[in-house]
Amino acid sequence: MTNSTQRALKRALHHAEAYLAGLEGRSVATTASLEELRARLGGELGRQGLDSVQVIDELVAATEGGILGSAGGRFFAWVIGGALPSALAADWLVSTWDQNAAVFACSPAAAVVEEVAGRWLKDVLDLPVEASFAFTTGCQLAHFVGLASARHAVLRDVDWDVNEAGLFSAPPIRVLVSQHRHGSIDRACRFLGFGSRNLTALDVDAAGQVTTRALENALAGDRAPTIVVLDAADLNIAAFDSFETLIPIAKAAGAWVHVDGAFGLFARASRSRRRLLAGVEKADSWATDAHKWLNVPFDCGVAFVRDPEAHRAAMTLSVDYLATDGLARDQMDWNPEWSRRARGFGVYAALRELGRDGLEQVIDRCCECAEALVTGIGALPGAEVLWRPHLNQGLIRFLDPRPGAREADHDAWTDAVIERVNATGEAFFSGTTWQGRRAMRVSVVNWRTGPDDVSRAVAAVEAVLQDS
């Protein structure tokens, strides 16, 4: 090892340890402005290179206040997981080993680790053993993989080879999606050339679930090539579609069913919560994230496809392309990228560190903390619970205390309270619009979150409401 590498790594370890040790006391929100960050990090690139340690030290100093505290236990915005110790350390090794996880020949260990991690994931998520899988950058690209496989299969069923003939004169594909779908579904559909005009949004009921009638109506008529996308936990209230009812209806119409389980699919690992996903195993493809509830460092999503032939045909460079006599798994046969990071290592480490019981405990603890947060904050004067978590997501609204306040005032007040709570640095939440009203979303997926974090977050909201 050159002296420069050794010194830079030691420095990085020093900064990383200091960062993690300070998580409890550090502001969860960022404190540096855009202008400050640009001023500190910008300027012209010099002609002369710098010492590696100086680069690292100055990087840490210049980013101070610009790093959001999502690694800690009091970050409840969007759906953002932390990093388990072994997954974080494994990720450092991934950079150290600097493997190109494109094919087995480029890194046999990366290929085999991915093969094993994929099998373990299917096992803990209770998905079909025959399903193939791909480790992607996130759920967005996992949707792309699942829906590309779907596109291949539904066109193959009408004797259209999309790889060879493309889409220009292909039979139209209709895509039926939930009204509550995540935007990453629309984006994946766009990448795949479906066009937003060919997406039909299915009505949902008060619980956010696609109704049977909406699906049946949409499927009535001719048997066009069809893809149905269902939710295994939507972003706001973790609504699960009724897989047991809807998937058989879709299948009877010859449709391919894809499931967005970015975080919700992991509820399969909890014995007390897996009922929410009854029947999900009957789908054709599933997309999830390891960087959410599995607490692997960014980035890592995973796609699973029941029909490996369709999956491989959609992704591989050539169906005849085999680097190793077909004995080893070449990631490029299943992934959209060519060169890529060895994402399997973090997943492998996280699963081994937790084991089945540990994973279940993380899921259950997050759900209990979400419930405690919503109960604690919801009990404060001026707070109204809009959605009590049945999993890890809840919604709270804050009512403008002024006499005669209207809905628009409550909306503005809710956003103002979120901003003030975040400004305390004690906890961090994000806002959302649900059923036409603004709300504060509570999302818990970080392995670090525990009862102390809940108490501190509730106290922070209470202090803001008292001062307002």
Ligand X SMILES: Cc1ncc(COP(=O)(O)O)c(C=O)c1O
Point out which residues bind ligand X (CB under 6 A). Answer: 78-79, 138-140, 182, 184, 234-235, 260, 262, 289, 301
- Least distance (Å) between residue 209 CB and ligand X: 14
- How big is the chain by its Cα radius of gyration, in Å? 24
Q: Which CB atom, from 182 or from 410, has the smaller least distance to ligand X? A: 182
Q: How far apart are CA 56 and CA 334, in angstroms?
A: 36
- Least distance (Å) between residue 234 CB and ligand X: 6
Answer for the pair 182, 235: CB distance below 8 angstroms, yes or no.
Answer: yes
- Least distance (Å) between residue 235 CB and ligand X: 4
Q: Which CB atom, from 80 or from 103, has the smaller least distance to ligand X? A: 80
- Least distance (Å) between residue 140 CB and ligand X: 3
Q: Which CB atom, from 11 or from 258, has the smaller least distance to ligand X? A: 258
- Least distance (Å) between residue 137 CB and ligand X: 7
Residues whose CB is less than 8 angstroms from the CB of residue 100 and which lie 6 or more positions away in sequence, other chains included: 106, 107, 339, 340
- Least distance (Å) between residue 181 CB and ligand X: 8
Alpha-helix runs per DSSP H in 293-343: 308-315
Q: Which CB atom, from 107 or from 178, has the smaller least distance to ligand X? A: 178
Q: How far apart are CA 396 and CA 373, in angstroms?
A: 10
- Least distance (Å) between residue 35 CB and ligand X: 28
Residues whose CB is less than 8 angstroms from the CB of residue 45 and which lie 6 or more positions away in sequence, other chains included: none
Q: How far apart are CA 367 and CA 267, in angstroms?
A: 10
Question: Which residue has the closest beta carbon to ligand X?
Answer: 138
Q: Which CB atom, from 286 or from 447, has the smaller least distance to ligand X? A: 286
What's the token pair of residue 28?
């969860």
- Least distance (Å) between residue 175 CB and ligand X: 16
Answer for the pair 135, 343: CB distance below 8 angstroms, yes or no.
Answer: yes
| Residue 205, SS3 per DSSP | coil
Q: How far apart are CA 155 and CA 162, in angstroms?
A: 7
Q: Which CB atom, from 218 or from 294, has the smaller least distance to ligand X? A: 294
Q: Which CB atom, from 262 or from 465, has the smaller least distance to ligand X? A: 262
Of the candidates 236, 251, 248, the residue with the CA atom closest to the CA atom of residue 206: 236
- Label residues 231-270 b or e (16+ Cβ within 10 Å = b): bbbbbbbbbbbbbeebbeebeebebbbbbbbbbbbbbbbb
Q: Which CB atom, from 182 or from 341, has the smaller least distance to ligand X? A: 182
Q: How far apart are CA 171 and CA 418, in angstroms?
A: 48
Answer for the pair 449, 366: CB distance below 8 angstroms, yes or no.
Answer: yes
Q: Which amino acid type is present at position 147?
A: L
